[in-house]
A and B are shown apart, each in its own frame.
Chain A
Amino acid sequence: MFRLVCLLCLLLGAPAWAAEIDPQGSPMWQFHRQRLLGTDPVRFDARVVVRAPPFAEDARQVPIEVDARGLGRPVRRMLAWAELNPIPHIFTLQLQSPRLQPFLSVRIRLEQATLIRAAVQTEDGVWRVGSAHVEAAGGGCTAPSVVRAQPGWEERLGQVLGGRYPRGEVDRLRLSVAHPMDNGLVGGIPEFYLERAELHDAGGERLGRLELFPAVSENPTLGFELRGGGRTGLRLRDNNGNEFAAEL
């Protein structure tokens, strides 16, 4: 009934909130929307693309890609969450330079089948939201750490593998950071995770600031897209105050 009323609203010249009917019809939508997006207006927008496999072959390493390049307009922030995860929030990316494209790829843990949401805030303050559903047998958040089972992982902590790949006008930047990303849900091991990554260019100009949460998989694998060449610096920090730096 509620949906029918809303549909009528749309037909009769929609009020602002009418665009906020979750096309996925998820009962979790309002909860996360209020917590993560606050009171700013929201639109569901097919140009905010969330790419994910239809099912999680490995629930500890599920690749997702948030791509809002199709909006064709400046973006302030990008945010992603997995609705039914014990730790839903995946990342928040602040875009600090027009050179950084509204695009991020990352691998995440899933505890069960869920909707993945991405919200992208354009310069007019509106959050534009896209979604994807991933099937999962689950258990990705409570599975024992693979990293911690490998001898010598502590020496490798903070090692960064990277690559820079020109793709037409933009460069794809890929990073993989050695870190267990403990989420506090496994075997009494407290939270220990990378919480921030900052990108800057050779002149020190800020490009973007990425906040990470322990929904992100062990040994986080990240992909950015950047317009213009030159060296790019990376500063990383975990919640224990360890700092790491890299350049590519």
Chain B
Amino acid sequence: MKRHVPLWALVLLLGLLGGGAAQAAYDYRLQPRQIAADTWLLEGSTENFAEGNGGNIVNCAFIVTEAGVLVIDSGPSRRYGEALRAAIGEVTEQPVARLLLTHHHPDHVLGNQAFTDVPIAALAGTTELLREQGEAMTENMYRLVGDWMRGTELVLPTETLQPGVFEFGGHRLRLLALSGHTGADLAILDERTGVLFAGDLLFHQRALTTPNSPGLDVWLADLQTLEALPWKLLVPGHGPLAADAAPFVQMRDYLGWLDALLRGAAVRGEDMNEVIRAPIPARFAGISLTRYELIRSVSHLYPRYEAQALRRIDQ
């Protein structure tokens, strides 16, 4: 059977479809998953930033309380922030009341534009780092994930968090000011549910990143602090959740290996190009992006190890 369709209708139809496709191409399809009472997670992939994922490589979360919704991290772009806000609206009628940022990295804070009507809270050090590095990091994100970033601008926190207990809508939240990943890292333990939002102090099945780390020893000490908390469920900044200590075990193993690799290389007088080619133990095969992150970490950290291994020789 043939049917005549007027050309204008076809054009309109194609236009609609095309427009829909273009929008769908930048749809994060965020699907909040309930992980504990009142507690929802938006889990990103363990990939690197790429045009294909729009920078959605990060875990964001929110807690629905009688005092409104508390959001933890805003994601990599304005579009993500808006999608996160919409996804929260699908789950609850409670209004968003506050956004907490775990640290200043772009994949955790560049959705802030969708939350300018509520307090955006962070550690003082996080705001300071955002002031120093935020613009450059935002530019870099445009380079890495392209059009997903359209309209994204840096929004600084409006409130300073102090470590300690933070009561919010019947949830006792323990706020910890740690530093191993960036120098200012917030971890949040919800004492009511036992969920520990570890930010990027915990990576799981995804190689950790070190661009602002004050040192792997500092990071290891932070892990000890976190592991000793009475948590029931771990939410890492990147990678899957865990109800057991697996992410801690993996982090300690990996950080220990990286530290020993850099120390050993410095003692043997290796240059960076040798260190970045070092074999990666088979037990880390399940962790994504280890080689890529090793190349980055050598650039960030190796000069400090070298400086310790070399001695003054000028006369």
User: Chain A residues in contact with chain B, CB under 8 A?
Assistant: 51-55, 57-58, 61, 63-65, 105, 107, 137, 158-165, 167, 172, 174-176, 221, 223, 234, 244-248
Contacts and interface: CB of A to CB of B under 8 A. Distances in A.
Which residue among A55, A161, A167 has the maximum number of chain B CB atoms within 10 Å of its CB?
A161
B306 A247 contact: no
A161 B269 contact: no
Contacts of B276: 53
A64 B269 contact: no
Interface in B245-301: 268-269, 271-274, 276-277, 295-296, 299-300
Given A57-B296, A246-B315, A163 B269 contact: yes
A222 B295 CA distance: 19
Contacts of B307: 161, 176
A208 to B, nearest CB: 17
Contacts of A164: 269
B12 interface: no
Contact of A163 (B277, B295, B309): B309
Given A53-B299, A174-B271, 18 more contacts: A52-B273, A53-B273, A55-B295, A61-B303, A63-B299, A65-B273, A105-B273, A107-B272, A137-B140, A137-B143, A159-B312, A163-B269, A164-B269, A172-B269, A175-B313, A176-B307, A176-B310, A246-B315
Contacts of A165: 268-269
B90 interface: no
Interface residues of B, number: 24
Interface of B: 140, 143, 268-269, 271-274, 276-277, 295-296, 299-300, 303, 306-307, 309-315
Contacts of A247: 313, 315
Contact of A54 (B140, B269, B295, B299): B295
